[in-house]
């Protein structure tokens, strides 16, 4: 009797759950699919300050010894909307994974295939087509098991994409590639297909500026170099310029009550001038840079970099003036000053002066810059070959 009671007590664990037993078992976690297949996975990618995350379960092409290659698309996963026979909905898309709904989460609003999608978490579905594009669906109903409770009224966005051939992939896999500062391509890859999803963050630079604004309210805002770098970023990207000018001025002159003080030096003035130039206030920018150029103690590298930027912008005469000032200020420096003059004289067509400066610069290349020697030697060779 005791053995029978023991067997019954333990056997009840494996019987179909009813009533109170079902409640007790509902909190248990078992392997995905009941036998460890279609395991849970997640992948995350940042585009600037924007996080994109996909949570899914990953089935395999081979299952229980059966090779399903060639039978995934259009068979295991039917074309169009279909009735899987498990829920109240008679026309469902594919859950784009296994088990619970695949979810797609965004920390900020983005564009999907050129269409706006707000920040949040969405169930991600895919509708196959026998011919033509396939359709991704983003649903605000995320708590369902697969797509058995799918309701088109919860669709936040539907976008069409072309499926692509791909190298064989055993396990259904999501990933990100074609990464750019303002976007990426998410993809589902399984068996021999890849289904892409173009994601763009068109306001990524504004989002970076907003992040900097938030951080500058805290302790980082007591460091003038942080203010300068934030202002320079905005100048380079031409965003948030009014506030960037405030940051630039604070980096120059704000007292920070024991944590540091702003400083008027070449770098902070150059940044302020860059902001003014981005705002179209060129005369004010030029005046600020004249003040910067009069400051004593500016490093040879700062002057070289500033003059190089002028040269790249086509302001050749002004660039040559600054390169000459750099050589006058730092007569004992034998590389950066002569390199700058070589580049400027080459740009203005002063061949003999350019050759002489290239020769001096090449004799004094520091170890950190030796990778540039072949390019410099080619420039010198070309100059000598000219009539």
Clarify whether residues 210 and 180 are in a common domain.
Answer: no
Query: What pLDDT does residue 153 have?
Result: 94
| Long-range CB contacts for residues 290-298, cutoff 8 Å, separation at least 24 | 292/266, 293/266, 293/322, 293/325, 295/264, 295/265, 295/266, 295/269, 298/265, 298/266, 298/329
Judged by DSSP in three states, 247 sits in: helix
Q: For 247-275, what is the mean pLDDT? A: 86
The span from the first CA to the last CA of the chain, in angstroms, equals 112
- Domain hosting 358: range is 204-385
Q: Which two tokens stand for residue 182?
A: 């303002």
Residue 84 lies in a domain: yes
Looking at residue 83, its pLDDT comes to 85
- Alpha-carbon distance of 324 to 303, in angstroms, equals 10
Domain count, the chain: 2
How many angstroms separate the Cα of 64 from the Cα of each of 67, 189, 226?
Answer: 9, 21, 58
Given a cut of 70, is residue 259 above it in pLDDT?
no
| 192 lies in the same domain as 176 | yes
Residue at which a domain ends, from 177, 200, 223: 200
pTM: 0.79
Do 188 and 126 share a domain, yes or no?
Answer: yes
Confidence band of 8 (pLDDT split at 50, 70, 90): very low
* Same domain, yes or no: 190 and 230: no
The Cα 320–Cα 343 span in angstroms is 9
**Would you place residue 281 in the very low, low, confident or very high pLDDT band (cuts 50, 70, 90)?**
very high
Round to whole Å and give the CA distance between 203 and 357: 44
Instruction: For helices 351-363 and 373-385, give the axis angle rounded to 10 degrees.
Output: 150
Q: What's the whole-number mean pLDDT along residues 111-127?
A: 97
Quick check: is 298 in a domain?
yes
Torsions phi, psi of 118, nearest 5? -70, 160
pLDDT digits (tens, 9 = 90+) for 75-115: 999 999 998 777 777 888 999 999 889 999 999 999 999 99
Q: Is the pLDDT of residue 2 over 50?
A: no
What integer pLDDT is reported at residue 4 of this predicted model? 40
pLDDT at 29: 63
Task: Check whether 6 has a pLDDT greater than 50.
Answer: no
In a domain, 9, yes or no: no
Among 134, 169, 200, the domain boundary falls at: 200
Asked whether residue 25 carries a pLDDT value surpassing 70, the answer given is: no
Final residue in a domain of this structure, among 156, 172, 200: 200
Q: Is residue 13 part of a domain?
A: no
Alpha-carbon gap, residue 319 to 270, rounded angstroms: 14
Is residue 20 one of the residues assigned to a domain?
no
- Nearest CA to 338 out of 321, 323, 316, 322 is that of 323
pLDDT digits (tens, 9 = 90+) for 218-249: 989 989 999 999 999 999 999 999 999 999 99
When the pLDDT of each residue in the chain is averaged and rounded to a whole number, the result is 89
Query: Are 134 and 244 part of one and the same domain?
Result: no
pLDDT band at 1; cut points 50, 70, 90? very low
> Does 323 fall in a domain?
yes
pLDDT in tens, 143-158: 877 777 888 999 999 9
Give the pLDDT score at 267.
Answer: 95
Distance (Å) of CA 23 to CA 16, 19, 20, 100, 181? 12, 7, 5, 20, 49
- Examine the domain organization and report whether 190 and 291 are in the same domain: no
Mean pLDDT of the region 322-333? 96
Same domain, 256 and 189: no
Shared domain for 219 and 162, answered yes or no, is no
81 in a domain, yes or no? Answer: yes
184 and 213 assigned to the same domain: no
Question: How far apart (Å, rounded) are the C-alpha atoms in residues 55 and 100?
Answer: 10
| Whole-number Å distance between alpha carbons of 329 and 298 | 9
Asked if the structure places residue 285 within a domain, the reply is yes
Asked whether residue 5 carries a pLDDT value surpassing 50, the answer given is no
SS (H, E, C) 300-338: HHHHHHHHHHHHHCCCHHHHHHHHHHHHHHCCCCCCHHH
Backbone dihedral angles phi then psi of residue 252, each to the nearest 5 degrees: -85, -40
Output the domain CATH number for residue 354.
1.25.40.10
Residues 214 and 253 reside in one and the same domain: yes
Give the lowest-confidence range in 1-10, 182-191, 339-348, 368-377.
1-10
- The pLDDT confidence band at residue 19, using thresholds 50, 70 and 90, is very low
Claim to verify: residue 284 and residue 327 sit in the same structural domain? yes
Tell me: pLDDT of 338 over 90. yes
Asked if 140 and 187 sit in the same domain, the reply is yes
Question: Given this model, what pLDDT does residue 275 score?
Answer: 98
């Amino acid at each position: 009797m005791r053995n029978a009671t023991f067997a019954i007590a333990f056997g009840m664990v494996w019987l179909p759950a009813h009533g109170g037993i079902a409640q007790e078992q509902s909190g248990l976690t078992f392997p995905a699919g009941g036998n460890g297949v279609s395991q849970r996975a997640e992948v995350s990618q940042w585009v600037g300050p924007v996080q994109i995350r996909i949570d899914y379960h990953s089935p395999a092409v081979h299952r229980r010894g059966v090779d399903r290659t060639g039978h995934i698309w259009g068979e295991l996963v039917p074309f169009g909307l279909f009735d899987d026979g498990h829920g109240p909905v008679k026309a469902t898309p594919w859950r784009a994974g296994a088990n619970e709904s695949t979810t797609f989460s965004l920390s900020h609003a983005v564009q999907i295939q050129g269409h706006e999608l707000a920040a949040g978490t969405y169930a991600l579905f895919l509708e196959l087509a026998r011919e033509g594009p396939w359709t991704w669906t983003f649903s605000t109903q995320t708590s369902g098991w697969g797509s058995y409770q799918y309701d088109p009224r919860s669709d936040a966005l539907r976008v069409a994409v072309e499926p692509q051939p791909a190298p064989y992939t055993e396990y259904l896999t999501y990933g990100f590639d074609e990464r750019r500062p303002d976007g990426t391509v998410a993809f589902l890859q399984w068996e021999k297909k890849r289904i892409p999803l173009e994601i763009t963050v068109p306001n990524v630079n504004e989002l970076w500026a907003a992040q900097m604004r938030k951080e500058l309210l805290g302790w980082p805002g007591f460091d003038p170099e942080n203010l300068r770098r934030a202002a320079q970023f905005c100048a380079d990207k031409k965003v948030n310029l009014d506030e960037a000018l405030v940051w630039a001025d604070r980096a120059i002159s704000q007292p920070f009550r024991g944590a540091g003080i702003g400083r008027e030096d070449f770098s902070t003035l150059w940044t302020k001038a860059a902001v003014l130039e981005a705002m179209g206030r060129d005369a004010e920018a030029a005046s600020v840079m004249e003040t910067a150029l009069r400051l004593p103690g500016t490093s040879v590298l700062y002057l070289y970099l500033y003059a190089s930027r002028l040269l790249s912008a086509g302001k050749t005469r002004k660039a040559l003036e600054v390169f000459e000032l750099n050589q006058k200020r730092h007569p004992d420096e034998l590389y950066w000053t002569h390199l700058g003059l070589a580049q400027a004289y080459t740009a203005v067509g002063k061949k003999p002066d350019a050759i002489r400066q290239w020769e001096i610069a090449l004799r004094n290349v520091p170890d950190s810059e030796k990778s540039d020697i072949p390019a410099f030697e080619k420039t010198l060779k070309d100059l000598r070959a000219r009539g």
